[in-house]
Amino acid sequence: MSKTQTSKEPKYFEDQFDDESVLYVFRKHPVVMRKGLIIGMAAWLVGPLYTVALTFIKPVEQYPSVNFFFASLLLSIVLGMIIMLPFWISWYFSVFIVTDQRFIQITQKGMFNRAVVDMGLSQIQMVNYEIRGLQETLLGFGTIMMQTFMGDLVIHDIHHPAKTQKKLIHILREHGDQSAAQFADQ
């Protein structure tokens, strides 16, 4: 086989190493989009409320038509979707990837701001979770806290934090010391 035709695993993200396998991918709970959802849904009311206001302001002969109402409603829905888009982009493109070698946190803020935290699994010492309050308990999200050699990494609003913590601990037990053992052999 030539160098360009080596059998390798498909790449799931841009910075994935050739000898690296993705073990677990998770993201924040969709509740992080609630502010955009509320503002976006309020925007749906702009067109219909404008039409209602025109019916009270204008004389009976010049009332807005039903077509005007539906056109303003459609424009309001488009406006709401445009308002919601940056919140959805921030949620969808903020992802946490655990490979057999490292933990990667990709955080998207709006459309033009991205931060990446990349640490080896051997640097993670402890993984804990916390569910605080009624909202987090009922909706099933919470906070994951990772203690590392560099300091604490706190990740808020994680969907099913108990399951995520259990999965992370399982991966750390299987692969966490593997990278340290590889460097010791060299």
DSSP helix/strand/coil, 94: coil
**Is 155 among the domain residues?**
no
**Is 30 among the domain residues?**
no
pLDDT at 8: 60
Which residues are within 8 A (CB) of 31 and not within 5 positions of it... i.e. 6 or more apart? Answer: 135, 139, 141, 157
Domain count, the chain: 1
**Is 23 among the domain residues?**
no
- Domain boundaries, position 81: 36-88
**Is 54 among the domain residues?**
yes
**Is 28 among the domain residues?**
no
Structure tokens given for 12: 């799931």
pTM attached to this predicted model? 0.78
Rounded mean pLDDT, 32-57: 92
Residue corresponding to tokens 């502010």 = 35
User: What is the rounded CA–CA span in Å between residue 144 and residue 166?
Assistant: 11
The answer on pLDDT for 104 being more than 80 is yes
Between residues 20 and 87, which one has the greater pLDDT?
A: 87
Please provide the average confidence, as pLDDT, over all residues in the chain: 86
User: What is the rounded CA–CA span in Å between residue 1 and residue 186?
Assistant: 27
The answer on pLDDT for 84 being more than 70 is yes
The answer on pLDDT for 182 being more than 70 is no
**Is 79 among the domain residues?**
yes
Instruction: With cut-offs at 50, 70 and 90, classify the pLDDT of residue 3.
Output: very low
The answer on pLDDT for 162 being more than 90 is yes
| Residue 69 CA neighbour count, 13 Å, CB half | 10
**Is 165 among the domain residues?**
no
**Is 66 among the domain residues?**
yes
